Chains A and B, each alone.
Chain A
Amino acid sequence: MRGWKVCGLAFFGVLAFLLVDTVAHAKTPFVEGGVVRQKCSVCHRLDQQGRVEVIEETRKTPGEWFNVISRMRRINGAPLGDSEVKPAVKELCEFLIFTPAEMQKSFYYATEENSQFRERSSLMKTDLDKRIFQTCVRCHAYGKIISHRKTEAQWVENMNMHLGYYPTAVPQMREMDWPKEAMDLAKILAKEFPMDTPEVQAWYASKKPQDLAGKWKIAGYQPGAGYYEGTYTFKANAKAGKDEYLIEREVQFQNGLALKQVGEGTLYGTYHLRYNLQPTAFSGLVEGAFNLDAAAKGFTGRWWAVVQDNNAYGNEAFYKSDAPAKVFAVFPQSVKSGAAQTVSMIGVNLPAAAAITFGDANVKATVKKADANKLVVEVTAAAGAAIGPTAIQVKGAACSESLIVYNKLDGITVLPRMGRSYMYGGAAYPPQGVQFVARGVNFGKDGKAGTADDLMLEPLAAQWACEQDKVWAADNADRATFAAEDIKVLAAPIDNGLYTPPPDKVNMAPNEWRIQRREGVGLIAISATFKEGAQEFKDSALLGVSPPDYVTHIK
């Protein structure tokens, strides 16, 4: 009898444990059969609050989720096969992705090659940014820090992880008491980049599944190649799963180049699209990242060639064929007053009889050709038209674009102001180039160069050259010696603004004639010269060439 009692107590004990366990574990949104619970929960068990421990105390961009899973597989032996990585990231992003507003601030880190130039210490304005810069940015990009959201406990754990895995960070950061500073900063980061806020909860409550299948109208700009327009066709890729698409891309550049590409894409967290497009005769393997504005049915973002020898990338927007009527791109973006000029306006569901007016009544337009996706317009800005941007209004369609009106070319400017190129580092590390662009400049109403009202005009066909840097080396004889060496090793022909390091001399091999037998690193100037009539305009920007990017960017 006593045995039955013991058995009964044990039965009810187990039942009670299971009930409590079920109730306690009921909170996690991750289903038991999913990759997260099946693979990540081998270590990350459900905690007392029913969360998958650690994982549900953080949110990240999809790129950083890829990074974390990669590290977990590499160091911690996470039992995920190659084919399970993307499903894991998709599942994580369903509940633990950034909101679109959060993504906006860190998007450059996932898409730009030269993101470190957004992050110079001189650009850090707030005390918090300066502290992050001193404590984290010596090793990481600032963009990486702001690609994470965590609870305070997890920000602290993050610092502990650094001490455990990378203890040499302490002596390396020897100008400060790094463990103390990092722990102090963890508490501040928890407030600045928190796991949970009312805004986050509101967005998660409002997000809805999206169906991208259909036609999309494209407009974009590729430095060095110019403006283009075209079409995406998205088809659901049922074999690959939910939110997976087969993509066809057809674009036509204004310079005549036409491209047809096919590829595959994935929509993360209902708004973040990542795709890859297969190589063609005119383009290498291409990747892209775009964010959806669900209400406007439009994506904006960037694509880039995976091998960056030609530094090919494009800023692009595309809107669905059933989106509300809208003009979303205008090119060229500036017109000279006093003469008629053809302007293309790209959009979706544009009215058949579109009437176009401008904020400045001195600017007139006549529609020469119109269809649902494009208006070809002859624009005339009278000689008295105000210098500067003028708003475009299209009757029957939304338009937030503007057109710059200028009266004369005052100068040129080379962009980017400082490009960064990677030298050749063997087959695994091809050279990375920089595409410079020379743009016209009008000095604006005040007629003075370098003021806030300067107007950036269209790209120009300039003559290009490599020159010895005189800016950095101006006040230091040692630097001048370096500069003389640099131009000798880095000089290369520049066609259409594109600098690609010649692999035979800009590489990792030590140069016996250089100070310290240095390899193909250095700093030079890239100059552009443009002639208009009897006038000659010249400008230059800096180009730094560094060792390869050994630890590849998240993108």
Chain B
Amino acid sequence: MKRNGLKGVNRRAKRLEEREVFGMEQIDVIWDQPVGCTSIFDTGWETNPRAATPMGNCAPSARDLGSCAGPCWWPAQTPDSMTNFYGYQDQCIAMERDWRNLNYAIKVK
């Protein structure tokens, strides 16, 4: 995780530098991807105040769903609009107002 020119300035950031915790420097693929929700101004799952319980996300749904669906952070839980469900949210320009318009992720039996 530690890269040239980057230095953790608080306790949480310093923890991210610990190799035994992350070991990210061993990964030699897709460095072009933004690393972590924090780089796209979402708070990141580490900050989920309800990590021990099954409800709530790192951010309220109205923001979190848009973030997850776009860069495809949680493709198993939200209908990602990159690979699986193109245009899933097209009818929801502003999720906090348009959430009622969310469509089905269609399943066929």
Instruction: Verify if A446 is at the interface (C-beta below 8 Å from B).
Output: no
Contact of A171 among B35, B54, B96, B102 (CB under 8 A): B35
Interface residues of B in 53-100 (CB under 8 A from A): 53-57, 59-62, 64-65, 71-80, 83-85, 95-96, 99-100
CB pair B21–A523 under 8 Å, yes or no, is no
Q: Tell me, yes or no, whether B104 is within 8 Å of chain A by CB.
A: yes
In angstroms, Cα B108 to Cα A85, docked, is: 8
Which segment, of A40-48, A160-168, A344-352, A367-375, faces chain B? A160-168
Whether the Cβ atoms of A166 and B75 lie closer than 8 Å is yes
**How far apart sit A420 and B54, CA to CA, in the bound complex (Å)?**
8
Return the chain B residue nearest A266 by Cβ. Answer: B109
The answer to the question of A66 belonging to the interface, with a C-beta cut-off of 8 Å to chain B, is yes
For B96, B102, B109, the residue with the greatest tally of chain A CB atoms inside 10 Å of its CB is B109
Asked whether, in the complex, the Cβ of A510 is within 8 Å of the Cβ of B60, the reply is yes
Binding site secondary structure of chain A: mixed
A165 lies within 8 A of B83 (CB): yes
Q: Tell me if A545 and B76 are in contact (CB < 8 A).
A: no
Interface size on A, residues (CB 8 A): 55
Q: Does B49 contact A (CB under 8 A)?
A: yes
Residues of A within 8 A of B78 (CB): 550-551
Q: Complex: how many Å from CA A552 to CA B83? A: 17
Residues of A within 8 A of B57 (CB): 547
Q: Which of A174, A426, A517 has most chain B Cβ within 10 Å?
A: A174
Complex CA–CA separation, A179 to B45 (angstroms): 20
Residue B6 at the chain A interface, CB threshold 8 Å = no
Q: In the bound complex, do residue A545 and residue B75 qualify as a contact, i.e. CB atoms below 8 Å apart?
A: no
- B50: CB under 8 A from chain A? yes
Contact with A179, one of B27, B72, B104 (Cβ below 8 angstroms): B27
Give which listed residue, A73, A85, A544, contacts B54 with CB less than 8 A: A544
Assess whether B99 is in contact with A508, with CB atoms less than 8 Å apart. Answer: yes
Residues from chain A with a CB closer than 8 A to the CB of B1 are 174
Interface members, chain A 169-208 (any B CB < 8 Å): 170-172, 174-180
B29 within 8 A of A: yes
Interface presence of A429 (CB below 8 A): yes
Q: Which of B1-46 contact A (CB under 8 A)?
A: 1, 21-24, 26-27, 29-30, 33-36, 45
Q: CB of A427 within 8 A of chain B?
A: yes
Known: A166-B75, A166-B83, A547-B61. A425 touches B99 (CB 8 A): yes
Instruction: Please tell me if the beta carbons of A521 and B55 are within 8 angstroms of each other in the complex.
Output: yes
Cβ-defined partner of A170 (8 Å) among B33, B64, B79: B33
Task: Determine the chain B residues whose CB is within 8 A of the CB of A75 once the complex forms.
Answer: 83-84
Q: Is A82 interfacial (CB 8 A cutoff)?
A: yes
Asked whether A171 lies within 8 Å of B75 as measured between CB atoms, the reply is: no
Contact, CB under 8 Å: A174 / B53: no
Q: Within the complex, what minimum Cβ distance (angstroms) separates A243 from chain B?
A: 16
Is A478 an interface residue when CB atoms closer than 8 A count as contact? yes
Q: Complex: how many Å from CA A552 to CA B104? A: 9
Q: Is the CB of A167 within 8 A of B107?
A: no
Q: Is A522 an interface residue (CB 8 A)?
A: yes
Query: Among the listed B22, B53, B77, which residue makes an inter-chain contact with A139, where contact means beta carbons less than 8 Å apart?
Result: B77
What is the CB-to-nearest-CB distance from B8 to chain A, in angstroms, rounded to a whole number?
14
A163 touching B29, Cβ below 8 Å: yes
Determine whether A134 belongs to the interface, using a CB cutoff of 8 Å to chain B: no
Contact of A70 among B33, B60, B101, B107 (CB under 8 A): B107
Q: Is the CB of B50 within 8 A of A139?
A: no
Question: Complex: how many Å from CA A518 to CA B58?
Answer: 10
Please name all residues of chain B whose beta carbon is closer than 8 Å to the beta carbon of A426 when the two chains form the complex. 99-102
Indicate if the CB atoms of B60 and A519 lie closer than 8 Å: yes
Residues on the A chain within 8 Å of B27, using CB = 170, 177-180
B residues touching A (Cβ–Cβ < 8 Å)? 1, 21-24, 26-27, 29-30, 33-36, 45, 49-50, 52-57, 59-62, 64-65, 71-80, 83-85, 95-96, 99-105, 107-109
Instruction: Give residues in A with beta carbon < 8 Å to B.
Output: 66, 70-71, 73-75, 82, 85-86, 116, 139-140, 163, 165-168, 170-172, 174-180, 420, 425-429, 472, 478-479, 482, 507-510, 516-519, 521-523, 544-547, 550-552
Task: List 6 additional contacts besides A178-B27, A420-B55; criterion CB under 8 Å.
Answer: A74-B84, A165-B75, A177-B27, A517-B60, A550-B79, A550-B105
Sample of 28 A–B contacts (CB below 8 Å) = A66-B107, A73-B108, A74-B85, A75-B84, A85-B108, A140-B76, A167-B29, A177-B23, A177-B27, A425-B99, A426-B102, A427-B100, A428-B104, A479-B49, A482-B49, A508-B61, A509-B96, A510-B62, A510-B96, A519-B60, A521-B55, A521-B56, A522-B56, A544-B55, A547-B64, A550-B78, A550-B79, A552-B105
